[in-house]
Amino acid sequence: MAVSLKVNGAVRSVPAEPDTPLLYVLRNDLELNGAKFGCGLSQCGACTVLVDGKAVRSCVTEIGTLANAEITTLEGLGTLEKPHALQSAFIAEQAAQCGYCINGMIMSAKALLDRNPRPQESEVRDALAANLCRCGTHNRIIRAVLRASREMGRT
């Protein structure tokens, strides 16, 4: 059967069953590969996307629950020519090592900055505590989120 989803502002129809995880549809049907498959068990955060502005784990989110939802993926934040402040800040702070966790870090940080544009460092740490990074670049990631917050406050 076909299911309609609103992804990055566009309505997309995908040939999938309603219990299919959103992550599979994003990567396999829509060729949106920002979200990563890490654990598949809601444990690591690599697959994070925004659903109605809230950070959710797409590996355990069934598409049948998203009929009227606005889904935003990493690809929906910015472009190569005009990156989002978070994307620019992650590059400026060289926050990625292997990069596998970075989608989840940026999308979780986006949800944080949308509800709290000037977070304290402790609030950034709390917001990203459930996103795992095996490379240990946490300090650079925290610096990048704080840098993005400052940059966004200037515009």
Q: Which of 134, 79, 85 is nearest to 106 (CA)?
A: 85
Residue 140 lies near ligand FES (rule: CB under 6 A): no
CA distances from residue 137 to 20, 33, 69, 96, 97 in whole angstroms, order as listed? 32, 22, 32, 7, 7
153 binds ligand FES (CB under 6 A): no
Q: How far is CA 148 from CA 2, 70, 88, in A?
A: 38, 23, 8
For residues 40 and 64, which CB has a smaller minimum distance to ligand FES in the complex? 40
Residue 18 or 99 with smaller CB distance to ligand FES: 99
Contacting residue, 26, 32, 107, 133, with ligand FES by CB under 6 A: 133
**Of these, 5, 63, 101, 144, which contacts ligand FES (CB under 6 A)?**
101
Please pick, from the candidates 16, 32, 47, 85, the single residue that binds ligand FES as defined by CB under 6 A.
Answer: 47
Question: Strands, E, within the chain: which ranges?
Answer: 2-7, 10-15, 48-51, 54-57, 70-72
Burial readout 21-57 (b: 16 or more C-beta within 10 A, e: otherwise): bbbbbbbebbebebbbebeeeeebbbbbbbbeeebbb
The answer to whether residue 59 forms part of the interface with ligand FES (CB under 6 A) is yes
Looking at beta carbons only, is 43 or 139 nearer to ligand FES?
A: 43
Least separation in angstroms between CB 91 and ligand FES: 13
By three-state DSSP, how is residue 14 classified?
A: strand
Q: How far is the CB of 61 from ligand FES (least distance, A)?
A: 9
Residue from 4, 28, 33, 43 touching ligand FES (CB under 6 A): that is 43
Residues that bind ligand FES (CB under 6 A): 37-40, 42-47, 57, 59, 96-101, 133-135, 137
